[in-house]
Amino acid sequence: MDQITTNPIVIGIDAGGTMTDTILVDQDGHFKIGKSATTPKNEAEGFLASAEDAADAWGISLQDLFSGVNVVLYSGTGMLNTLLSRTGRKLGLITTKGLEDMILMGRGLQAWADYSYADRLHAVTHHHPDPLVPRRRTHGVTERIDQFGDVILPLYEHEVHAAARKLIADKVEAICIMTIFSHVNPVHEKRIAEICREEIAAAGADILVYTSHEVRPVIREQSRLNSVLIEAYATSRGRKQLKGIEDVSKKYGFKYGVQTLLSFGGLTSIDHPRLHETMISGPIGGILGAAYVGRLIGNDSLICSDMGGTSFDMGVITRGQTRIENEPLMDRFKLNVPTLHLDTIGAGAGMILKVDPLTRKVSLGPESAGSDPGPICFAKGGTEPTIADCDAILGRLNPHYFLGGKVVLQVEKARKAFEEKCARVLGVGVEEAAEGMIDMLEADANNALRRVISGQGIHPSEFTLLSYGGSGPLHLAGCSRGIGFKDIITFQFAAAFSAFGCTTADFMRRHSVSTQIDIGARASDDELQAFGAKVTGVWDDLTKAAVDEMVADGHALSKIKTVPFLMMRYTGQLEDVEVMAPLSALRSADDMRKVIAEFEAVYAKVNHRVSRYGEAGFSITELGLIATADKVKPMLVKRPLVKSDPASAHKGVREAYIGGRWHKANLYEMDLLQPGHEVIGPAIIEHPATTLVVHPQDRVHLDEWTLLHYTHA
């Protein structure tokens, strides 16, 4: 590896369910990684330990690290954990009369989300998600605005006063306001908020007020309601965790504010007014990192797979296009939060293994041992066998090199517990049972990748699989076998790849509003010009809002770039496509035609094998604006290839159980492998933060970017 002579200027952190990963980046794009166990009760502890591990790798102190960096960016799980554990604020809701049961009814899709196939068949096991606001703290008030924004019924202000007083008497911590069609005309929501604040001031109470038109001014009342509720409910704890990160950073000399990652890619301040947009930021970093690597190596069709201790996340980049999901599901809530699309299953090295003593049925998870107490081999109090214990039992993990030797794995302890709770119940040997469990995990991940591929109508021979996450390389061979990818790549920094992806993002704001603009297939020039003027007017308003927010965050006006976008579909379709506008203003009919042509080009890229259908006309359902400001990014260095013999990285031999028998596997230090080296299995390539298992006769070679390419025999 190259000698680094400068200090880092960016710290990127990804706090997952099991481990917290850190990446440090200097002005020239060089980077080092660190790793530590996640500390869910106080994420600042895991953050500091992981940062210290990375600082050690760089050879500097924490004080020198934090006092010298310009950016600290953090993606964690605090807000999502608040939602999952139902430990957020006590809320009240004021809504349009007649919609009081909206929370309890929900949407059919979210009510059945996250249920297994068996549970969907047998409705007796079904229950709705626990409501964030109980019915007794939900108050309807008389008012009505129609879909065009016209006031049909005036607001009955005396009902608002009464509702506000009741909620104050109930000692709520926040009042949420959502009225029908407020995304078109928010006049009633604004007045309800004014009245609530008047009553709160009169009562001398400390209660926050949230309105849906400020949090998410887009169509679909249920998703808009969920968005404002979750913003009010979960972000207080998230802000507290992020503030703790910032306080620790400043304690060691950091001079600026901590940034966090938005779910649609891009960085924002932890004081961002819509912090729920960062709730699932961690896995998003991996997609950003994959796109960045793809651009460097000239490969724009990628399938991303991230396996950690808890989950297996998958994303697809098709000919440079990353799919945006406008209504993601989060803990069985449909939200109006634009998110880079991910498919996720419960599959990771921390999955707890169970065997039913009566039926001998094996179950993987869905529970994970997490970081506390963790797998049995961690010797931190874990008592249930996990996939990581199986990896240790089979010699695939080095017991004296986990986290660079900071954790010594207790293999015998794990073996005894696994034999008692799994192998003996199944009536097979320990090694056979342990490999069987690993095979099940890898088969689940393999099938999930196949479903993603078939669901998008693409052929794997056109795509490169990128595998990362702490457990990604460890289980890469089984996860990818037999699918037929064009190429399979993993990384020396696989364990911190999501953190790496976070550092490839720029500072960003994204504003959008719902519209309903229907353009006929044979629209006249005058009609097209009128549509263009309407679109441009909305973009101008959004530009001002986004730029004002970024300037308030301290970005120089000259550094801010804006790009408008549209959500479009062929008229009558159910799914939108995000189109980055080729022009910042539409002044003529020809300008509007350029936008339509861009939509059709993007549509053809995303929907492989699906013909365009311009005869149906075009619908613009949402208009938006993305504002960005650049920052330094990590850089992969291209190096000359050397001879294929990896002897300089060889560090011994270890017995490893692969494919039903023990092998003498060659051991290699991952960071010592050079471009051009080739490793033939059985082999184990070790890094302080991850392990790559090379099955017998399989091969791994390093290219000029020092990326590891895996080839099946």
Q: What is the mean pLDDT of the chain?
A: 88
The answer for residues whose C-beta is within 8 angstroms of residue 393's C-beta and 6 or more apart is 411, 414, 415, 418, 430, 431, 434, 657
Strands 661-669, 650-658: pairing kind: antiparallel
Strands 683-687, 690-694: pairing kind: antiparallel
C-beta of residue 33 within 8 angstroms of C-beta of residue 501: no
Neighbours of 198 (CB within 10 A): 13
pLDDT digit string, tens, across residues 94-140: 999 999 998 887 766 666 666 666 666 766 666 777 788 999 999 99
Torsion of CA 649, 655, 660, 661, to 10 degrees: 120
pLDDT digit string, tens, across residues 600-633: 988 887 775 566 788 899 999 999 999 998 877 7
| Token digits of residue 334 | 């449909």
Residue 3 has pLDDT above 60, yes or no: no
The C-alpha atoms of residue 655 and residue 393 are separated, in whole angstroms, by 11
pLDDT value at residue 109: 64
Residue type, 346: G
Query: Percent of the chain scored above 70 by pLDDT?
Result: 92
pLDDT digit string, tens, across residues 151-175: 999 999 999 999 999 999 999 999 9
Mean pLDDT, rounded, for 441-459: 88
| Token digits of residue 338 | 């634009």
Residue type, 216: R
Q: Tell me the Cα Rg of the chain.
A: 27
Strands 464-468, 487-490: pairing kind: parallel
Domains of the chain, each with CATH number or no CATH: 8-82+237-261+274-278 (3.30.420.40), 84-231 (no CATH), 302-485 (3.30.420), 507-629 (no CATH), 647-711 (no CATH)
Largest Cα span, the chain? 82
> At what angle are helices 43-58 and 221-251 packed, to 10 degrees?
50
Mean pLDDT, rounded, for 10-23: 83
| Token digits of residue 190 | 């604004």
224: part of which helix (H) or strand (E)? helix 221-251
Closest CA to 47 of 209, 220, 244, 184: 244
Interior angle at CA 640, CA 637 and CA 646, nearest 5: 100
